[in-house]
A and B are shown apart, each in its own frame.
Chain A
Amino acid sequence: MKTFWADLHVHTCLSPCGDDRMRPRAMVQQAKQKGLDLIAVCDHNASGNVEAVRQAGRGEGLAVIGGIEVTSEEEVHVLALFDEQQGLRDMQRLIDESLSGENNPDLFGEQLLCDERDAIVGQDTRLLIGATALRVEIVVDSIHHLGGLAIASHVDRESFSILSQLGFVPENLAIDAVEVSPRRSVAQVYAQRPELKAYPAVRSSDAHTLEQIGAVRTGFTAAAPSVRELHRALLGEGGRAVMN
């Protein structure tokens, strides 16, 4: 068992709001400088840069989890994290089937696809800022069905969080954890909304620029830097634990 320091929510230049410099090598270097062992790449409704970041991380000893920040019909953001490439692909397919519209790069920002050496290899033309037609329970259940972990994004933010959109966490919503943004501590959020204590919490940067990577982090003690082990740490299984 070992303690892994993780930033479980970083965007790349594929997100329309992600900085142009958020490219695989640069991100990996920044993460290593910040002392992270693990990052999860979660672009808005997209996963096209996951493999490039993973490959860039491989040479540097940085574990990279593949994820997507899914926008539900209610405009709730949910992180979907997967160990298996197949799970991520299937989740992406589900999103693609229920997301419409085309991006306008001048207004929303470019959606750049990169290789592991930071070269641009294409653009994603879909309206990634848009909402899927999937209600939030379907998003969460699909993530679980495909073997992933579902974390409610930035629950303390007043836009696009489960609390802003739906007032409180629906009782049948099976999220695995809540994410707290850098602007609050987990203790503050738990104190403000005691009902959230029913869920384990992680604290992530939601980085859109290089400087933001690792601004806050979550440590977990487990056997490996994987989604499965993170899940067990969130549940406190077999001596595993999460630290914020």
Chain B
Amino acid sequence: MNVSDLVQRAELAVKAGAGGLDAEVTGGYASDLLSAVMANAVEGNVWVTWHAHPNIVAVALLVKLSAIILVAGRQPEDETAEKAEQEGVPILVSSLPAFELVGRLHAMGVAGAT
């Protein structure tokens, strides 16, 4: 499954970084602590978070995440969107809170680490 499949099936809005929509999704990681994501998420994961801060793009690049999904209708800050656009890191937005979004992604087969 790639990022665009997720966009369609989970009804996500693409806010930036459409250049990265072909990336393969290896699983999911959900956290609002950047340090936890840097330490635990793995390459190709989609990251579910509340953070809209520009540092999320750098974290995504470090871990080589396939996409960032903001929850509860959060919008990326302007600088975040610009950086994501430049780097081709998709920033997607869901209207759902984290628990429900993760539930749906999981049901589509995007698993977490166990």
Contact = CB atoms under 8 A, between A and B. Distances in A.
State yes or no: do A and B touch (Cβ within 8 Å). Answer: yes
Interface residues of B, number: 11
Interface stretch (A5-13, A101-109, A183-191): A101-109
A176 B110 CA distance: 46
A158 B70 CA distance: 14
Interface string A106-122: 01100000000000000
Interface residues of A, number: 14
Given A107-B62, A108-B58, A130 B53 contact: no
A127 B38 CA distance: 11
B33 to A, nearest CB: 6
Mostly helix, strand, loop or mixed at chain B's interface? helix
Contacts of B58: 107-108, 129
Contacts of B53: 159-160
Interface of B: 33-35, 38, 51-53, 55, 58, 61-62
23 contacts: A17-B55, A74-B33, A75-B33, A75-B34, A75-B35, A104-B62, A107-B58, A107-B62, A108-B55, A108-B62, A127-B38, A129-B34, A129-B55, A129-B58, A130-B34, A130-B38, A131-B33, A131-B34, A158-B52, A159-B51, A159-B52, A159-B53, A160-B53
